[in-house]
Amino acid sequence: MIVHIQGEIVTTGKDSLTLQMGGFGVQVYVPSALSHQSQAGEMVFLHTHLVVREDGWTLYGFDHEIERDFFNLLLGVNGIGPRLALTILSTLSVDVIRRAVLAEQADIFTRVPGIGRKTGQKIVLELQGKVGESGDMRKEVSLLDKDTEVLEALIGLGYSVIEAQTAIQSIPRDAPDDVESRLRLALQFFNK
């Protein structure tokens, strides 16, 4: 099993990086945010997961180990393959996935291209008890409904789901709980 790799980025694609490692060029599929922020010539260290099938070997890479762990959890859900798991992690952050599962908010997953209501419910059901709660997770679960409203407002204003999720993640942990304040703070993210 290849658990991590390090190399120089040769090219970037929509959802992949090609790394120069010794005398080899290795294609690694990565979340879209990582491929967009990467540039040729940079050195990168990725936590990886190798998928071996009879028609080929495919390497998936992530900035953080927790992303790879959630990728593996998503692969354990019946009907979720590696490409769809990568799309989920490209659209939703690990924290949003964790909060959605803990709060049993299957509709969060329907915002991911290729996931319908039934698949969203299946993800929530099969990940229950596997995502765990971290320090402030109980408070974050109570904020999920408010953040969902903020997400919908940002999407209504024309931002993509990925942009909206990133803006919501930028909201400070000690921010007020009301939707208006949280929306105002999320909009400040775009004015930086």
Task: Provide the whole-model pTM.
Answer: 0.71
* Sole residue written with tokens 């996931």: 115
Class of domain 137-190: mainly alpha
Instruction: Encode pLDDT of 55-76 as tens digits.
Output: 999 999 998 898 999 999 999 9
Could you tell me the two tokens for 171?
């909201």
Q: Which CATH superfamily is domain 4-62 in?
A: Nucleic acid-binding proteins (2.40.50.140)
Cα separation of the two ends of the chain: 41
Q: Is residue 88 over pLDDT 90? A: yes
| Strand-pair partners of 56 | 53
pLDDT of residue 139: 44
Q: What value does the mean pLDDT of the chain take? A: 86
Q: Which residues contact 136 (CB under 8 A, 6 or more apart)?
A: 173
Q: Is residue 9 over pLDDT 90? A: yes
Q: Is residue 136 over pLDDT 50? A: no
DSSP-assigned letter for residue 64: S
Could you tell me the two tokens for 104?
């049993």
What is the CA angle 20-24-30, rounded to 5?
A: 55
pLDDT of residue 38: 87
Question: What number is the average pLDDT over the span 30-44?
Answer: 89
Q: Which CATH superfamily is domain 65-127 in?
A: 5' to 3' exonuclease, C-terminal subdomain (1.10.150.20)
SS (H, E, C) 146-163: HHHHHHHHHHHCCCCHHH
Measured between alpha carbons, how far is 38 from 12 in angstroms, rounded to an integer?
7
Residue 192's pLDDT band, with cuts at 50, 70 and 90, is low
Q: Is residue 1 over pLDDT 80? A: no
Give the three-class secondary structure for 84: helix
The domains of the chain are located at: 4-62, 65-127, 137-190
